[in-house]
Amino acid sequence: MRKLLAITLLLLGACGQQDSGSGNTSAEGPAGEGVAVIYTVNYPLAWMARTLAGDAARVIFPAPAGEDPAFWQPDTATLLQFQQADLVLLNGANYARWVAGVSLPASRLLDTSAAYRDQLLAVEAAPVHSHGPGGEHSHGDLAFTTWLDLELARGQLQAVAAALQQLLPGEAGAIAQRRDILDGELGALDARLVALGRQLAGAPLLYSHPVYQYLQRRYQLNGRALHWEPDQFPEEAHWSELESLLQTHPARLMLWEAAPGPEVTERLAALGVTVVVFAPMANRPGQGDFKTGMEANIAALEAAAVTAAPPQSAGG
Amino acid sequence: MAGVMGSFYLGWRYLRHHPGKTTILISSITLIAYLPVGLSMLVDEGAQSLRARAAATPLLLGARGSPVELTLNSLYFSTDTPALTHYAALDAIEPARAQAIPLYVRHQARRHPIVGTSLDYLDYRALTLAQGRGFAVLGEAVLGAQVATALDVGVGDSVVSSPETVFDLAGVYPLKMPVVGVLAPGYSQDDRAIFVDVKTAWVIQGLGHGHQDLARPESAAAVLKKEGDRIVANAALVQYNEITADNVDSFHFHGDRGGNPLTAILPAPVDDKARVLIQGRYQSHPQLQVLQPRAVMDELLATVFAVQRYVLVAMAMVGTATAAVVLLVFLLSLRARRAEMETMSRLGGSSAAIGSLMLAEMVIVLLSSVLLAALLSAATLTWGGPLLQAVVMN
């Protein structure tokens, strides 16, 4: 009876209604009405989308140059542009935390790492805490520089290509061709890194920042991460920590996101550690693109690996 | 002709001379004529509107339970919360088959439903903004046109969610939500709702929250005990009841997003084939049911129409009785006016002239009643819906 009353009230309430049912943005590609607009949260995805779509779409990566897109926060105007995009490419692995706190149209979002969610790496967990009735929980997170495992990057490429083919059905054939070429190029870079990992054979390494987790896992590197910034001279306490670490982890190479100052390079050299710049490429490079940047990274590591690799045993 | 006009003139003068009796007669006959017609019009118009909204919603997915409750909550934002499903069910819908829109309709702000959804909902219902913009950041709200008027709030103001129960002192804190947009009137239930991102609805529920970082030294006062990596907070822990640019980064959700609740999912199939495939997939699903809201509403309205028929029969009986009373009043009136008629006869009035005078009085009363009933029906057609809507709302 109560339900019937509710329905009747609803019915009456519905009467008379006429139901309506009845900073520095990097933009590449043609502008104008009718051109698909694609927004991305980092440079590798922008590079993939741009290479795959060619002139058929406008690819926009709005994070300013020099900022880490993982921690950059778009302003409201940029956020509204994200909302208007035909496709928003997300990296997944909780990359760009701002995404979790905003409203984006779910139908136009693509988590490019969704296909390999089970392969994502957890970073060192934050303290477990509890308050109220919710029980214990931790704000621990996932490592997010997924594309440094080039096999995972190839997976992201496939996801981006499939989304673009759906968005631009007229370009599906061309996108497939470009995808195959790009996949081959990433595969070749991956093979070089696999060989490099074998050459290093577990030799101890250092990382200036904890961003190389996927590189380490895929290419079987043996690195330890510090929290050193390229534009800052580390405090003496940090140098002491490093010296202690070198006692147990005698690394001869240290991978940096960007070249540190000459004083840092010299002091590291004095400790027997050579600086190798291996840029994660999360933001657009000053010159070249993702592929040339990765080639430069690999070349630098290949050149330095000669000194770091353990000596080959006689007679193999 | 002059005789007929004279009869009508004298009849008119007589009725004006007895305003009480005339008013009662006209009112009674007007109501007899108007009530069944007006009720039918209201019900038909309401049914048409409800059916239109249901027809504009091809499919509805939700937890198994009452289909009526699920439909009423999802389409008309009724206060009864249906059985809950989870966000994982939305993730399970292939984007190639349907655009899936989440709905979490559970909370209210000053008796207006808060609809947790995604921006896609506004496109789905073809809702446009009269002021401001759509919600962009966690905690922002967009108001339906009637809510903005009823609460007298607009862009730049804020609305506060209401606790689920008044005595829930240990429950979730009310969330203060800045209003960033007001929708243009859509003449539907959407006008009476407050729209937020589904994540904001989860924050209202307490599934997501923001607080001080307990690992930081400045939060020491809020720490009850610390054992290694485990920190237990005390009641002094500050939890934010408003999401601002300064604290938005501290807001977080516990557990997997897929486990968070939804009241329903609106799948918008890309074509008929996709619709059939989705229906087939959930036909015998143990936890979920897929509905065609139009079919649910048709079934419901059939019940309402059955009730309406009983009401109309009752009205017809009351109408017949009233008509009989009116007739009796006329007959008694004739008897009471015998002396008056004899006087007219002595003055030279023929029986036909006296009869036509009486008939003219009855015709004037009947015509006035029919005219009034027609005016009331027209008014019902024009203003009845919104008026009743306002009555139901308040």
CATH number at residue A99: 3.40.50.1980
For B196, the closest chain A residue by CA position comes to A103
Taking an 8 Å cut-off on Cβ atoms, the answer to whether B118 and A3 are in contact is no
Residues of B in contact with A7 (CB under 8 A): 68, 72, 300, 303-304
- Do A161 and A263 lie in a common domain? no
Which of A48-57, A105-114, A237-246 is predicted least confidently?
A: A105-114
CA distance B63 to chain A (A): 19
pLDDT in tens, B91-150: 889 888 999 999 999 999 999 999 999 999 999 999 999 999 999 999 999 999 999 999
Any idea which residue has 């339970």 for tokens?
B65
Residue A139, pLDDT > 50, answer no
Using pLDDT thresholds of 50, 70 and 90, give the confidence band for residue A21: very low
List the beta strands (DSSP E) in B238-352: 251-253, 261-262, 264-269, 288-291
For B200, the closest chain A residue by CA position comes to A101
Residue A105 lies in a domain: yes
The partner residue sitting opposite A105, judged by closest CB among B119, B137, B188, is: B119
The partner residue sitting opposite B119, judged by closest CB among A22, A83, A127, is: A83
Using pLDDT thresholds of 50, 70 and 90, give the confidence band for residue A241: very high
Identify the residue with better confidence: B340 or B61: B61
pLDDT in tens, A81-100: 999 999 999 999 989 988 98
Cβ count within 10 A of residue B168: 9
Mean pLDDT of B373-380: 90
CA distance B243 to chain A (A): 10
Residue A133 lies in a domain: no
Residue B238, pLDDT > 50, answer yes
Identify the residue with better confidence: A198 or A30: A198
**pLDDT value of residue B272:** 93
**pLDDT value of residue B104:** 97
- Do A151 and A84 lie in a common domain? yes
- Do A165 and A219 lie in a common domain? no
- Do A210 and A81 lie in a common domain? no
**pLDDT value of residue A16:** 41
Mean pLDDT of B36-47: 80
The partner residue sitting opposite A103, judged by closest CB among B50, B118, B255, is: B118
Mean pLDDT of B62-69: 93
Residue A263, pLDDT > 70, answer yes
Say if residues A111 and A40 touch (Cβ distance below 8 Å): no
Distance set, CA A297 to CA A148, A189, A215 (Å)? 11, 10, 12
**pLDDT value of residue B232:** 65
**pLDDT value of residue A20:** 35
Dihedral angle over CA of A297, A300, A302, A306, nearest 10: -150
For B222, the closest chain A residue by CA position comes to A131
Residue B266, pLDDT > 60, answer yes
Taking an 8 Å cut-off on Cβ atoms, the answer to whether B138 and A103 are in contact is yes
**pLDDT value of residue A300:** 96
pLDDT in tens, A248-262: 999 999 999 999 999
Range of the domain at A79: 26-119+140-184
Q: Which of A103, A110, A111, A138 to mutate to test the interface with B (most CBs of B within 10 A)?
A: A103
For chain B, give every domain's residue range.
Answer: 2-50+301-393, 59-207+254-291
List the beta strands (DSSP E) in chain B: 60-63, 85-86, 98-109, 112-117, 129-132, 141-143, 158-160, 176-183, 194-197, 208-210, 223-227, 230-233, 251-253, 261-262, 264-269, 288-291
Residue A14 lies in a domain: no
Residues of A in contact with B251 (CB under 8 A): 101
Say if residues B248 and B69 touch (Cβ distance below 8 Å): no
Q: How many residue pairs from chains A and B have C-beta atoms closer than 8 A?
A: 181
Taking an 8 Å cut-off on Cβ atoms, the answer to whether A103 and B126 are in contact is no
Per the structure, how many domains does chain A have? 2
Using pLDDT thresholds of 50, 70 and 90, give the confidence band for residue B46: confident
**pLDDT value of residue B4:** 77
Identify the residue with better confidence: A192 or B252: A192
- Do A173 and A75 lie in a common domain? yes
Residue A290 lies in a domain: no
Any idea which residue has 């989870």 for tokens?
B86
Mean pLDDT of A272-284: 95
Residue A183, pLDDT > 80, answer yes
Query: Phi and psi of A269, rounded to 5°?
Result: -60, -40
Say if residues A48 and A157 touch (Cβ distance below 8 Å): yes
Question: Mean pLDDT in chain A?
Answer: 86
Query: What are the residues facing B196 on neighbouring strands?
Result: B116, B141
Identify the residue with better confidence: A20 or B317: B317
Query: Phi and psi of B137, rounded to 5°?
Result: -110, 150
**pLDDT value of residue B230:** 65
Residue B255, pLDDT > 90, answer no
Query: Three-state SS for B128?
Result: coil
The partner residue sitting opposite B56, judged by closest CB among A7, A15, A21, is: A21
Cβ count within 10 A of residue B334: 12
Query: Three-state SS for B255?
Result: coil
CA distance B335 to chain A (A): 46
CA distance B388 to chain A (A): 6
Residue B386, pLDDT > 70, answer no
Taking an 8 Å cut-off on Cβ atoms, the answer to whether A16 and B389 are in contact is yes
- Do A96 and A48 lie in a common domain? yes
Taking an 8 Å cut-off on Cβ atoms, the answer to whether A127 and B119 are in contact is no
Count Cβ atoms within 10 A of the Cβ of residue B356 and give its class: 0-12 exposed, 13-18 middle, 19 or more buried.
buried
**pLDDT value of residue A17:** 45
Residue B227, pLDDT > 80, answer no
Residues of A in contact with B188 (CB under 8 A): 17, 19-21
Mean pLDDT of B327-342: 84
Using pLDDT thresholds of 50, 70 and 90, give the confidence band for residue B352: confident
Any idea which residue has 């430069």 for tokens?
A296
- Do A112 and A220 lie in a common domain? no
- Do A47 and A105 lie in a common domain? yes
**pLDDT value of residue B47:** 79
Residue A312, pLDDT > 70, answer no
Which residues, at least 6 apart from B119, have a Cβ–Cβ distance to it below 8 Å?
A83, A103, A104, A105, B134, B135, B197
Residue A296 lies in a domain: no
Q: Which of A20, A72, A81 to mutate to test the interface with B (most CBs of B within 10 A)?
A: A20
Residue B235, pLDDT > 70, answer no
The residue among B109, B61, B100, B114 whose CA lies nearest residue B84 is B61
ipTM at complex level: 0.73
**pLDDT value of residue B28:** 86
Distance CA A147, CA A218 (A): 11
The partner residue sitting opposite B211, judged by closest CB among A6, A103, A131, is: A131
- Do A208 and A245 lie in a common domain? yes
Residues of B in contact with A6 (CB under 8 A): 72, 78, 80
